[in-house]
Amino acid sequence: MKQFTIRTRARTDFVRLDDHISDCLAGAGLADGVATVFVPHTTAGVTINENADPDVPADLETVLDRMVPWQGDYRHGEGNTAAHVKASLMGSSVQVIVSGGRLRLGTWQSVFLCEFDGPRTRQVWIQGISNR
Amino acid sequence: MKQFTIRTRARTDFVRLDDHISDCLAGAGLADGVATVFVPHTTAGVTINENADPDVPADLETVLDRMVPWQGDYRHGEGNTAAHVKASLMGSSVQVIVSGGRLRLGTWQSVFLCEFDGPRTRQVWIQGISNR
Amino acid sequence: MKQFTIRTRARTDFVRLDDHISDCLAGAGLADGVATVFVPHTTAGVTINENADPDVPADLETVLDRMVPWQGDYRHGEGNTAAHVKASLMGSSVQVIVSGGRLRLGTWQSVFLCEFDGPRTRQVWIQGISNR
């Protein structure tokens, strides 16, 4: 297992991880298989979406904020229920195919850490599994 | 593949699976790799979220109920459309890294079966894949 | 890695992939392991839900449209922000256990490509990993 840390800059902040993940996989020598990108937190998640226009992750942040408002009739005493819900909506991991030693993403795809209760320092864990 | 069953107790009910998963992996002898935890149902899902405060899964259940109300202008004749939608929002599987023979979750993370149309008896399937 | 293409027929369109996936796995000779079904697009996703009543995917499409309306106060200039958000809500991949050479889905489960900005021709990538 490989890992790295990411410093987020705001309560809600989507951070591209592609280069970090590629570095981990190069270090692990994975040529063909699947990489699991796992976020060991409960108020942050991970998703794949468009990297070309920064308005796409910005819109995604905004729409999720509207779907699950920060202020609400919640029971959890820490006041960050919305972040927990959004983490489950995005999920704790993504799986990406590795082929020919390269992370195989679509033309417009990047992997984003989804910070929902920042700014914080977050960990990302990578496990590559070979198909041979 | 390993499997076990879980008895849920209410229409909406989040049940911790960590110990069951760890037992399956110990039985399979998986030391390092990734475990896929798969729910073979369409009105239940699986997610990872906080285990310390039971108000977190309780809030998650409540917020999902508000986002997708049980009663609504739905076509599906069985009347459980909301459960189907919530199952897809959470997903049918989670992937967890296994390292040194242990399930690697963050400090506050647990894996929860998400019952959305209970009470029922649910199956959980586990497939561990070694990285060697 | 195996791949195939799917032609979608409407802006929102859920298309069953089970037979295509099984064909890919048979071609790859995977007996026991996990298959990753990955959609390399940012306005389409993939989910597992009920295949018996076509009203279930129809309701899922409708509920997602209500949760994230096509028209809205969005920044992304292409006008398809809703499709990007719904892609992240469903996710870019599903993982399905393979056992005894067969895709292991629950009785009522199928894998659906989730088109949110069609009609288009979409790619689906399959990577099977054996548990040896």
Domains of chain A and CATH, by start: 2-130 (2.60.120.460)
pTM: 0.98
B contacts of A39 (beta carbons < 8 Å) = 106
What value does the mean pLDDT take over residues B1-17? Answer: 97
Which ipTM value was assigned to this complex?
Answer: 0.97
B55: nearest CB among A75, A92, A95: A75
Q: Which of B37, B53, B59 to probe the A interface (max A CBs under 10 A)?
A: B59
pLDDT confidence bin for B69, thresholds 50/70/90: very high
Stretch 60-79 of chain C: residues touching chain A, C-beta under 8 Å: 67-68, 72, 74-78
A8-33 per-position pLDDT tens digit:
999 999 999 999 999 999 988 899 99
d(CA B36, CA B22) in angstroms, rounded, equals 12
Q: Are A12 and A116 in contact (CB under 8 A)?
A: yes
The kind and range of the H/E element at A46 are strand A44-50
State the average pLDDT over residues B51-62.
96
Q: CB within 8 A of C114, min separation 6: which ones?
A: C14, C44, C45, C46, C47, C86, C87, C90
